[in-house]
């Protein structure tokens, strides 16, 4: 996918972001001394007891959080969650207190699934499962459900997460590494024509976006037997995806669509029901599909939060619109790096740079700690690169406003001017 | 444990409960029209912009939720979570947005563990793990970690959950059902002297409190090889427990200590590190113990909520005090059943009745639906028994106020007067 020209001006997008502060929201007011010091909040009351929201103050309170996950969530979603936390829509209870089999929670999980199906145009012959345990649990669950020992499976490994999936799979099938980017420090994606796929491989596994290395598939290889499996944890719902090309898509929620503790699996229904005998019941897709993700108690509050994010993404116009914003944000950040005359460097091959995770280094590596420290003072946090690769990393998921990226770029230019 | 006389009068406990409404808390005020209709809230503002809490109104908004789990949470905990949701203690972000490796979340999980260790006096040679997947995942993880095939294991099954654990274990060890209460509809616990334990059993498994059947161990059998394993999901932190008697204790959080999506495992450290080769990495206790529950992204927000509950339980004086309240609540409810001259019936043997889950039936079974319906109108919800057993069930976990049980008992007496 090319970094295409944005459809709206930076200015209009910035306004759009600022305007989001005026969405329906609530203001929490501390009434009693808290165990920890809190700032006093002054309140203006009109005769009708309306309280004016103060978007400027709210924005000042917030940092720009560039963490790789758990990560920034949309401000309007947090405000909605805050307003509903104590008493969800007149139910007299918090979502955290609801029986997972009660009509209130059923309405929440059903709407979440329905909205996700709309967002990704998920075909009806695919099941959507809300699970626990993160993508790491799926590293085992997938071969346990799709393979019989010693079925061969092909892996393309473009970063640390794909490598972890490959290693875990070896317990339950016979995985082959048909391509690895390790020798080039995970900065590339192979030409699909050159891949030597095993014609008997049960599936071909990829990690669609490597969170640590910032490498993203822009299109997908065609597996010999038709079954493509993708870890989309860190670019899930960041752009439209043709689900029908995949046998199975999985994603931890804590990057683009919710808090940690929810894992989403989208699986073609005919692949369900063939788990190995040693499969723990909680890793058996059939159990969850047959019970609409309610075999045991699901992570209810996390699913509720995902549902609020899905609503927000639909309200933005769906994933095509979301992708435009992500392309725009990524472009100004990569441009700033590439136009820095080597002061900043991104090691990833341009054609496969991630829209979500932007790793970069400083030519003068000794300045990196200072960069992270100064940025934090300016309320831009979590910019340190993953401990395994060093440098910096800016994760700019869906919920990162354009203003956050613009502020980062301005800071980078200023930092360069002071240290070049 | 006998239903001993309460240490304080009903009146003083009621006051204690009402006083909780005056604990440090916050009030959320809707500022804009919400997408769904919400009740207008009138606010009284003083010159200094202080807003008076209105415990009566807050209590009116809330229902008494007798759900078996997810279940009622302490009102003060929900208010605290509400006040911190958008911006946790000046960090500029929600707990849901925090990197699990950042200093903010590390302080949260470390304090949660420390407070839990205080509550249960957990010895230092035990690890505390915050995991995902519910007790059902542990049904597999425990034999995978503690057994080599075909190690024998003994099970005492006193209800549906123990039975599920027994069946799942058969995949990974050789479990023997040394006692089952099934033929007596799970209303009893055996005499420990009569048990025929396998001297080679790797461990003895019990479910300390059966949520569906309302059967609770009041003391514990001594396993032949010294290793007792207990599912404490539905009575965890409801009373003091001598952890040193157990090799492993596990509990889903969503009954007494938090929202769903967090599972707590307390395991003697010398038992860690012997997982079978087929164990999924996420079910290997060693991985989680070595990484302080941060091998992958944990369910951060759920752990935060558990931490708030632990703080609340400590503030109440610890589990000995909590137990006194639970004994008192259970006593007035069981007394109401036993004194109803058969109008209400609890099938469980008196000496092992649960303090947490109180199942009961109506002599006139045809009135049960009416009972549940009328109670709901009176804002007492989720009183229908589990679908597998029918009748009614009142779950009265730690967070259920005495006032809730008193209201239920008053309703039961009134219902009886009208239908006897």
Contacts B283 to A, Cβ<8 Å = 280
3-class state of residue B78 by DSSP: helix
Under 8 Å between Cβ of B168 and B135: no
Query: Any catalytic annotation for residue B255?
Result: yes
Q: Which tokens hold the place of B67?
A: 């759900």
Q: List, by residue number, the catalytic residues of A.
A: 161, 231, 255
Does A253 score more than 90 pLDDT? yes
Amino acid A59: pLDDT: 52
Per-state percent for chain A, helix, strand, coil, to nearest 5:
40, 15, 45
The share of chain B scoring above pLDDT 90, in percent, equals 84
Q: Which of A176-185, A299-308, B32-41, B249-258 has the lowest mean pLDDT?
A: B32-41
Q: Mean pLDDT throughout A375-381?
A: 97
Cβ pair A261, B132 in contact under 8 A: yes
Indicate whether B262 and B170 sit together in one domain.
Answer: yes
- The yes-or-no verdict on residue B10 having pLDDT over 80 is no
Asked whether residue A357 carries a pLDDT value surpassing 80, the answer given is: yes
* Within-domain flag for A334: yes
Residue pair A118/A248 in contact (Cβ under 8 Å)? The answer is no
Q: What is the pLDDT of residue B389?
A: 87
* Length of chain B, in residues: 420
A305 with A322, same domain? Answer: no
Q: Is B409 exposed, middle or buried (0-12, 13-18, 19+ CB in 10 A)?
A: middle
Closest chain B residue by Cα to residue A258: B96
Place of tokens 């989403």: A264
User: Which positions in chain A touch B211 (Cβ < 8 Å)?
Assistant: none
**Over the stretch B75-109, which tens digit does the pLDDT of each residue have?**
999 999 999 999 999 999 999 999 999 999 999 99
Contact criterion met (CB < 8 Å) for B305 and A96:
yes
Tell me: do A161 and A181 sit in the same domain. yes
| A324 and A310 within one domain | no
- Element of type H or E holding B175: strand B174-180
Angle at B402 between CA B218 and CA A90, to 5 degrees: 120
Q: Hey, what's the torsion of the CAs at B9, B11, B14, B18, to 10 degrees?
A: -130
**Is it the case that residue A42 has pLDDT exceeding 70?**
no
Note whether B128 and B272 are within 8 A (CB).
Answer: no
Which of A109-123, B49-63, B393-407 is the least confident region? Answer: B49-63
In a domain, B413, yes or no: yes
Q: Do B345 and B199 share a structural domain?
A: no
Structure tokens at A147: 């393979």
pLDDT tens-digit readout, A116-133: 999 999 999 999 999 999
Question: Which residue of chain A is at minimal alpha-carbon distance from B75?
Answer: A86
Catalytic residue (choose from B80, B88, B115, B161): B161
Smallest CA–CA distance, residue A12 to chain B, in Å, is 24
Cβ separation A102–B283 shorter than 8 A: no
Are A387 and A270 within one domain? no
Alpha-carbon Rg for chain B, nearest whole angstrom, is: 22
Name which of A91, A96, A115 to mutate to probe chain B: the one with the most chain B Cβ atoms within 10 A of its Cβ: A96
| Residue pair B68/A75 in contact by the 8 Å Cβ criterion | no
By Cβ distance, the residue of A31, A63, A301 closest to B92 is: A63
Pick the catalytic residue from B115, B231, B284, B312: B231
Sole residue written with tokens 């090889």: B225
Q: CA nearest B305 in A: which residue?
A: A96
Domain interval for residue A400:
318-418
Q: Residue A335 maps to which CATH number?
A: 3.90.1150.10
The verdict on a CB contact (< 8 Å) between B78 and A86 is yes
Given B202, B239, B255, B331, the catalytic residue:
B255
Q: SS3 of B167, please?
A: helix
Q: What pLDDT sits at residue A60?
A: 57
Residue B382 has pLDDT above 60, yes or no: yes
What pLDDT sits at residue B19? 34
Q: Are residues B359 and B228 in the same domain?
A: no
Residue B161 appears among annotated catalytic residues: yes
> What is the distance between the terminal CA atoms of chain A, rounded to a whole angstrom?
33
A34 has a pLDDT exceeding 50: no
Q: What's the CA gap between B399 and B281, in Å, rounded?
A: 35
> Measuring CA to CA, which residue among A300, A248, A309 is closest to residue A119?
A309
pLDDT tens for B105-152 read 999 999 999 999 999 999 999 999 999 999 999 999 999 999 999 999
How far is the alpha carbon of B281 from chain A, nearest alpha carbon, in Å?
Answer: 7
Element (H, E) at B419: helix B402-419
For A152, residues 6+ apart whose C-beta sits below 8 A from its C-beta are A173, A174, A175, A176, A198, A200, A201, A202
CB-CB: which of B25, B87, B261 is closest to A31? Answer: B25
Q: pLDDT grade, residue B61 (50/70/90)?
A: confident
Q: Using the beta-carbon criterion (under 8 Å), do A301 and B259 form an inter-chain contact?
A: yes
Query: Which tokens in the block code for residue B168?
Result: 């799942």
Residue B223, classified by CB atoms within 10 Å of its CB into exposed (0-12), middle (13-18) or buried (19+), is buried
A316, A339, A364 - which closes a domain:
A316
Structure tokens belonging to residue B398: 């730690």
B221: pLDDT strictly greater than 60: yes
In 3D space, the residue among A267, A265, A266, A262 whose CA is nearest the CA of residue A304 turns out to be A262
pLDDT 10s digits, B295-308: 999 999 999 999 99
**Across A41-50, A154-163, A219-228, A306-315, least confident range:** A41-50
- Residue of B23, B24, B28 to mutate, interface with A, max A Cβ within 10 Å: B28
**A18 domain residue, yes or no:** no
Q: Residue B248: which of B142, B159, B161, B123 has the closest Cα? A: B142
Report CB contact under 8 Å: A92, B61. Answer: yes
**Residue A70 within any structural domain of the chain:** no
Same domain, A374 and A253: no
Indicate if B179 belongs to the active site.
no
Indicate whether B215 and B363 sit together in one domain. no
In this structure, is residue B169 part of a structural domain? yes
pLDDT 10s digits, A17-33: 333 333 333 333 333 33
Going by C-beta distance under 8 Å and a sequence separation of 6 or more, which residues neighbour residue A229?
A142, A146, A203, A204, A205, A206, A246, A247, A248, A249, A250
Return the percentage of chain B with pLDDT > 70, whole number: 86
The per-residue pLDDT of chain A, averaged, comes to 89
Q: What is the rounded distance in angstroms from the CA atom of residue A324 to the CA atom of residue A339? A: 22
* A61 confidence band (pLDDT: 50, 70, 90): confident
Q: Single out the residue in B316, B337, B370 at which a domain terminates.
A: B316
Residue numbers in A near B140 (CB within 8 A): 280-282
Q: Are residues A146 and A239 in the same domain?
A: yes
Residue B226: band (very low, low, confident or very high) from pLDDT cuts 50, 70, 90: confident
pLDDT digits (tens, 9 = 90+) for B266-278: 999 999 999 999 9
Q: What is the predicted pLDDT for the residue at B387?
A: 85
Residue B234 has pLDDT above 90, yes or no: yes
For A66, the closest chain B residue by CA position comes to B99
In a domain, B37, yes or no: no
The answer as to whether B339 is a domain residue is yes
Mutate to test the interface with A, among B19, B39, B53, B97 (most CBs of A within 10 A): B97
Residue B228 near residue B247 (C-beta atoms within 8 A) = yes
**Residue B259 included in any domain:** yes
Which of B98, B252, B302 lies at the smallest CB-CB distance from A70? B98
Interface test with A, best of B77, B132, B315 (most A CBs within 10 A): B132
**Contact by Cβ (8 Å): B173, B200:** no
Closest CA to B319 of B403, B232, B222, B418: B232
Say yes or no to pLDDT of A4 above 80.
no
The CATH number given to whatever domain includes residue B204 is 3.40.640.10
- Model confidence at A2: pLDDT above 60: no
Give the burial class of B372: count Cβ atoms within 10 A of its Cβ; 0-12 exposed, 13-18 middle, 19 or more buried.
middle
Q: Is the pLDDT of residue A419 over 50?
A: yes
* 3-class SS of residue B328: helix
Other C-beta atoms closer than 10 Å to the C-beta of A114 total 14
Confidence of residue B12 (pLDDT cuts 50, 70, 90): very low
A283 lies in the same domain as A342? no
Mean pLDDT across A324-333: 98
pLDDT, one tens digit per residue, over A259-289 is: 999 999 999 999 999 999 999 999 999 999 9
CA distance B118 to B95: 24
What is the reported pLDDT for B388?
Answer: 86
Taking residues A162-188, what's their average pLDDT?
98
A118 and A259 fall within a common domain: yes
Contact B44, B51 (CB under 8 A): yes
* Residue from A378, A380, A339, A334 nearest A360 by CA: A334
DSSP B138-162: HHHHHHHHH--TT-EEEEEE-SHHH
Among candidate residues A266, A282, A316, the one where a domain is terminated: A316
Q: How many domains does chain B have?
A: 2
pLDDT at B1: 36
């Amino acid at each position: 996918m090319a970094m295409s020209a944005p459809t709206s001006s930076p200015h209009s997008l910035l306004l759009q972001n600022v305007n989001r502060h005026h969405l329906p929201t609530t203001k929490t007011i501390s009434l009693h001394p808290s165990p920890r010091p809190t700032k006093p909040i002054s309140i203006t009351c009109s005769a009708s007891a309306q309280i004016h929201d103060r978007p400027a103050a709210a924005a000042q309170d917030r940092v720009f959080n560039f963490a790789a996950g758990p990560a920034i969530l949309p401000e309007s979603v947090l405000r909605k969650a805050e307003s509903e936390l104590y008493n969800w829509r007149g139910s007299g209870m918090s979502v955290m207190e609801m029986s997972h089999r009660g009509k209130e929670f059923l309405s929440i999980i059903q709407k979440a699934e329905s909205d996700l199906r709309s967002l990704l145009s998920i075909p009806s012959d695919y099941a959507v499962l809300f699970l626990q345990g993160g993508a790491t649990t799926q590293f085992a669950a997938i071969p346990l459900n799709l393979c019989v020992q010693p079925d061969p499976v092909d892996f393309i490994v473009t970063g640390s997460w794909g490598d972890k999936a490959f290693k875990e799979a070896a317990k339950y099938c016979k995985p082959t590494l048909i391509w690895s980017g390790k020798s080039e420090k995970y900065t590339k994606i192979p030409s699909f024509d050159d891949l030597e796929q095993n014609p008997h491989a049960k599936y071909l596994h990829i990690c669609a976006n490597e969170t640590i290395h910032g490498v993203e598939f822009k299109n997908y290889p065609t597996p010999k037997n038709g079954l493509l499996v993708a870890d989309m944890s860190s670019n899930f719902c960041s752009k439209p995806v043709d689900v029908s090309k995949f046998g199975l898509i999985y994603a931890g929620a804590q990057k683009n669509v919710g808090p940690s503790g929810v894992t989403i699996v989208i699986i073609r229904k005919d692949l369900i029901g063939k788990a190995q005998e040693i499969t723990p019941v909680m890793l058996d897709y059939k159990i969850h599909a047959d019970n609409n993700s309610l075999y045991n108690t699901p992570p209810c509050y996390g699913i509720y939060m995902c549902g609020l994010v899905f609503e927000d993404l639909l309200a933005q116009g769906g994933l095509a619109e979301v992708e435009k914003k992500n392309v725009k944000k990524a472009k100004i950040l990569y441009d700033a790096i590439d136009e820095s005359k080597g002061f900043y460097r991104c090691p990833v091959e341009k054609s496969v740079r991630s829209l979500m995770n932007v790793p970069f280094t400083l030519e003068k590596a000794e300045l990196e700690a200072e960069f992270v420290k100064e940025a934090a003072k300016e309320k831009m946090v979590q910019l340190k690169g993953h401990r395994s690769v060093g440098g910096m990393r800016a994760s700019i998921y869906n919920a990162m406003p354009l203003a956050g990226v613009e502020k980062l770029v301005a800071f980078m230019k200023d930092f360069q001017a002071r240290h070049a």
